[in-house]
Amino acid sequence: MTPHIHANLGDFAKTVLMPGDPLRAKFIAENFLSDVHEVSHVRNMLAYTGNFQGKPVSVMGSGMGMASIGIYSWELFTHFDVDAIIRVGSCGAYTEELKLFDVLLAESAWSESSFANTQNGHKDPITLPSAALNQRLLTTANEINVPLYQGKIHSSDVFYRQEENAHERLYREHQVIAVEMESFALFHNAQVLGKQAACLLTVSDHLVTQQAASSEDRERAFTQMMQVALHSLR
């Protein structure tokens, strides 16, 4: 039991998949897993454990932003014996190299966030996922024929910026190809605690072309991303 997760040791599987939206976690549990049960619902941050093709896995919402995923990932790693967290989220594209609904594997996360510096004095604006977990996701994507785009992503603390077309500057100055709001903190926590983390994203909106996804297209891209995460389970 932790302040934000009311569950017992053993309730979570070793690997937890984390979408931002708790209702996404519920959808994943109901549509992709078998033998599922809910393990926590504090603040409606729904968490489930079940099986995918006989392999135990948990799925839990992270909420939006680094403050939120910072809390849940820390508690999962430190109190529930979780070894690996795979974020399964969405992102906005900063470059036309990326198309709507592409599936992206984060190679690194760049951020202006003070999260890592505040947490333990880490000053590098880049945090890294687990190389082993990334390799497993790449191998899996290859095996099931899902094209995976790789690159440095931007973890932003701010969704609504005053600066117009900030994406152009950020892409030019930092070579970040897409924006989301969680991975920098997730990777940092995993690194500090000697655990594994990775981040898969689908492109849900495009900052350059201003396109946004229809719900059917969103669903198809999301399913492809979930297949990579689930088939990578060992």
Q: Among residues 50 and 92, whose Cβ is nearest to ligand HPA?
A: 92
CA R_g for the chain: 17
Looking at 23, 132, 144, 159, which residue binds ligand HPA (CB under 6 A)?
Answer: 159
Q: How many helices (H) and strands (E) does the chain have?
A: 7, 10
Residues noted as catalytic: 205
Which CA distances in Å does 213 have to 100, 165, 176?
Answer: 7, 20, 21
Question: Is 129 an interacting residue with respect to ligand HPA (CB under 6 A)?
Answer: no
Question: Is 205 an interacting residue with respect to ligand HPA (CB under 6 A)?
Answer: yes
Q: Check residue 141 and report its DSSP letter.
A: H
Q: How far is CA 208 from the centre of its chain?
A: 23
Looking at 176, 180, 196, 213, which residue binds ligand HPA (CB under 6 A)?
Answer: 180
Looking at 19, 50, 63, 92, which residue binds ligand HPA (CB under 6 A)?
Answer: 92
Question: Is 168 an interacting residue with respect to ligand HPA (CB under 6 A)?
Answer: no
Strands 148-155 and 103-110: parallel
Stretch near ligand HPA under the rule CB under 6 A, chosen from 2-10, 42-50, 54-62, 174-182:
174-182
Compute the least distance from the CB of residue 117 to ligand HPA, in Å. Answer: 21
Phi, psi angle pair for 197, to nearest 5°: -145, 150
Compute the least distance from the CB of residue 195 to ligand HPA, in Å. Answer: 24
Q: First-to-last CA distance in the chain?
A: 27
Q: Which spans of this chain sit near ligand HPA (rule: CB under 6 A)? A: 90-92, 156, 159, 179-181, 204-205
